[in-house]
A and B are shown apart, each in its own frame.
Chain A
Amino acid sequence: LAKTTQPISMDSYEGQEVNITCSHNNIATNDYITWYQQFPSQGPRFIIQGYKTKVTNEVASLFIPADRKSSTLSLPRVSLSDTAVYYCLVDNYGQNFVFGPGTRLSVLP
């Protein structure tokens, strides 16, 4: 089961770009990389998913280098409402999603 490592916490200010990097050295060929966001007292919410290179949607961008041993979630121009815990998950084919402790992002005014 691919294990992920992310910073426990990060601080940012409103309007800044935030990059959260996740390490997954043991990622398998079939694994996708998925990021979730969780607000207090709510269930995790899907943000973005990718396999390689770069993926962008209306919420974020995901950068994955060629070796796929890490990935970086990029949140452009964060606001106070982006304060949440962000989880990086690597789907081990046929296994169930395992959540790590995530990265607690605090956006300050």
Chain B
Amino acid sequence: EPEVTQTPSHQVTQMGQEVILRCVPISNHLYFYWYRQILGQKVEFLVSFYNNEISEKSEIFDDQFSVERPDGSNFTLKIRSTKLEDSAMYFCASSEAGLGLDEKLFFGSGTQLSVL
């Protein structure tokens, strides 16, 4: 079964450093998402991406965050200057078509980001 893959599985960084989280969505999917989950809390939407541009973003996704699809397979989330409160599990997801009607999301296993 095709799956969304994320690397690295764990990332430790110092506060103020830049990090890039990487994702390879399912190959025929056209819509890509980033979510995060702080330990013990709910899954929070960050951003959706389609046709090489952001479709929607939450208030969490401020100027410190950016997303990119640098080639035909990767989808990245960059945090420019990490803060302690950015520590969380970050999930990438993809869907075959846009949300609406009967669409469903496929999630990766996540990248655990720890900011020290």
- Tell me the A residues contacting B by CB distance below 8 Å: 30, 32, 34, 36, 38, 41-46, 49, 51, 87, 91, 93-102
Contacts and interface: CB of A to CB of B under 8 A. Distances in A.
Nearest to A48: B104
B25 interface: no
Interface string B15-43: 00000000000000000010100000011
Contacts of B4: 43
Interface string B30-62: 000101000000111100100000011000000
A103 to B, nearest CB: 12
> How many interface residues does chain B have, given as a range?
20 to 34
Contacts, number: 62
B105 interface: yes
B56 A49 contact: no
A98 B43 CA distance: 8
Contact of A34 (B43, B45, B104, B106): B104
B99 A43 contact: no
